[in-house]
Amino acid sequence: MNRRFLIATIFLALASRAFAHDYGKLPMSFEENGGQANRQVKFQARGEGYQVFLTPGGATIALREGTKLRRGSHISSASAYQSDALGLEFVGSDPGVKIVGEGQLPGRSNYLIGSDPHRWHTQLRNYSRVSYEAIYPSTDLEFYGNARELEFDLVLAPGADPNAIKIKLTGAQELRLDNDGNIVLRTSGRDILLRAPFVYQKSIASRKRIPAQFVLSSANEISFHIAAYDASKELVIDPVLSYATYLGGATADEFVLNLTADRTGNAYAVGSTCSTDFPTSHPAQPAAAGNCDVFVSKLDPTGTHLLYSTYLGGSGGDTALGVAVDRFGNAYVTGQTFSSDFPLKNALQAHSGGDVEAFVAELNPTGSKLVYSTYLGGSGFDNGLDIAVDRDGSAAVVGETNSTNFPTRKPFQGSLRGSFNAFITKLKPGGNGLVYSTYLGGTGEDHGYGIALDNFANAYVTGFTNSSDFPTTRHALQRTLEGGFDAFAAKLNSQGSALLYSTYLGGVADENGLDVGVDWFGSAHLTGQTCSPDFPTRNPAQASLNGGCNAYVSRLDPTGSVLIYSTYLGGSVFDFARGIATQNVLGPLVFDYVGGFTCSPDFPLARPVQSTAPGGCEAFVAKLGPFGGIVYSTYLGGSDFDQVHGVGVDALGNAYVGGGTCSLDFPTTPNAFQIVAPGNCTEGFVAKITDPW
């Protein structure tokens, strides 16, 4: 079919919401059949414990014999091993349909089986997608792997009839439509969910949802009822909850307190665990040393496996609050420790000067060894709250201190001025010295919570202050304190010796600044909470305060003097944003991913993965566009309390969030690392949301 006449793509993503999650790691290539498979098979793909076979009539997804199903898959007591084959048959399709591979990949497959070379099959090509050309009149079908998920599209050209499309599902013991319009397939010992299609059309200014639903006949056939749509525009599906997993032990509580992701989609979660059975893998420290220890865990892009997971701590209480990862996969962690015997290596500061000390540590890419680990603080209270790393491996830490002897080097501000000041400290690669270390604050109370570094190693920090003399710069957006506490945003040069800008951000009530990102252009992206009805806004997605306190998202220009956009985000009760991640796409296109928690039943939703808040107070995740508009916004949680603490984004724009939950019914995905809560409360969680837009 001539692609110039393509008018509508229906992203059904049936496999991505069921088969890919239930059958393990998604195949990302399709291998041509050169005689190694049944002659009806045109292409095949392999995943962990399953295979996909594409034939003229459709697809078969087969779980291999002897593959053990994971906990949480609703296995019957009679069988812990299962073999199932589920089929998608496109009823009434053209039996002579042309099936072609597209996007040839560099690898070749070879089958050298047996001693007879004439029976070998060699140099078989692999493709990134497979197209069925005109499987129905004026309708194409395409299978492909998208962000490690199996998807298929039905592409309708002008004059195509969606009512001609019928798909027969085979291999399931029972099929039914649930109350939300999803199809539930019962196989031997498990339920598989095919989520209801969500279709919309996009234009430059807006998106319009097109009502669509499955229709299930008694013959196990599904068709699609799609409302009227503009045939000149394509149709797009909603974001997908790619994975969601608990992360914890059974013996006590834990929280994921921060999270980041690398470009390829590995998630790095840190926090505090009091469990003696927290899951570990290739650990630098295999066992807990105190009542509560730091944990550092790395999950693969499917959320199925722990690539590594380790304790880190001494005989006191230890908590990780910030994490960053460099381009080589080394993880940098900061937080607070009460332990006089915190594990150290190549320490810049070998002894704790007070009861509570900040720490900084670097783990190698496998998580099996400490590159360095050091205390950081003076004789008072010191707390490392966030960390960032530059291209050279220098780690910059922000936090709070009331120590009069906090270690400084080439400081912008050399001494403590109030009861608490923020601090910004940058360590040399390997932790073998300080690049700079400085206080930042006035004569009141100042707390540094978020830090980011730009391509020139300038540091962007945010936090909150009640100091009327907090250091601000001449052309700052806001030079005076407006409320009891205001957020602040500051930019330090690469040597930490000068403020490039510093500004308050707030209204007549209280604000906090809890996280910051920076884009390629040097604009700071800020988030936190505001209780002010006059919080400064510009081009807002939400122009006014809806409840007592709302989240906010603000973007400052590189000079710190102009808001590019600034918006409230929240409902009528209480909303709190804790983390932000910033993704640069093309040119000026910059997207923000924000997470936190909300107790508002009317939190603003858009294309939600989860449209209800069963626990009253839920985690939320939102994606904002280049000019502050909401791309998607969703609840995420179960019937108890859930909260996001950290947000990351990969190179493809997939969002990763981590936090804590007391919900025993948190919406985990079928093939996730930990489907069932290992304890009662509280557990950590990590989730990934894929948005095909």
Of 202, 237, 272, the last residue of a domain is 237
Residues 329 and 404 in one domain: yes
Report the share of the chain in percent with pLDDT over 90. Answer: 61
pLDDT at 185 over 90: no
Residues 449 and 477 in one domain: yes
Query: What CA–CA distance (Å, rounded) separates 159 from 165?
Result: 14
pLDDT at 442 over 90: yes
Residues 185 and 261 in one domain: no
Summarised one tens digit per residue, pLDDT across range 78-100 is 223 345 677 889 999 999 999 99
Look at phi and psi of residue 92 and say left if phi exceeds 0, alpha if psi is from -120 to 50, else beta.
left
Mean pLDDT of the chain: 86
Of 237, 264, 291, the last residue of a domain is 237
Lowest-confidence region among 58-62, 389-393, 572-576: 58-62
Residue 618 is predicted with a pLDDT of: 95
Summarised one tens digit per residue, pLDDT across range 514-556 is 999 999 999 999 999 999 999 999 999 999 999 899 999 999 9
CA atoms within 13 A on the CB side of 101: 20
Q: SS3 for 116-134, per residue? A: CHHHCEEEEEEEEEEEEEE
Which H/E stretch holds residue 22? helix 19-22
pLDDT at 444 over 70: yes
Residues 139 and 169 in one domain: yes
Domain count, the chain: 2
Residues 281 and 198 in one domain: no
pLDDT band at 681, cuts 50/70/90?
confident
Residues 436 and 486 in one domain: yes
Of 186, 217, 237, the last residue of a domain is 237
Query: How much is the pTM?
Result: 0.73
Residue 451, domain extent: 241-690
The residue written with tokens 């790095």 in the block is: 268
Residue 122 is predicted with a pLDDT of: 81
Summarised one tens digit per residue, pLDDT across range 558-617 is 999 999 999 999 999 999 999 999 997 655 679 999 999 999 999 999 888 888 898 889
Query: What CA–CA distance (Å, rounded) separates 658 from 648?
Result: 9
Summarised one tens digit per residue, pLDDT across range 327-347 is 999 999 999 999 999 999 999
Mean pLDDT (whole number) for 484-513: 97
Residues 226 and 309 in one domain: no
Residue 180 is predicted with a pLDDT of: 65
Residues 393 and 294 in one domain: yes
Lowest-confidence region among 159-168, 288-297, 440-449, 460-469: 159-168
Residues 10 and 34 in one domain: yes
Residues 78 and 225 in one domain: yes
CATH number at residue 550: 2.130.10.10
Residues 411 and 522 in one domain: yes
- 659 C-beta neighbours (distance < 10 Å), count: 32
Residues 580 and 474 in one domain: yes
38-46: long-range contacts at Cβ-Cβ below 8 A with a sequence spacing of 24 or more? 42/99, 42/130, 43/99, 43/101, 43/127, 43/130, 45/145, 45/150
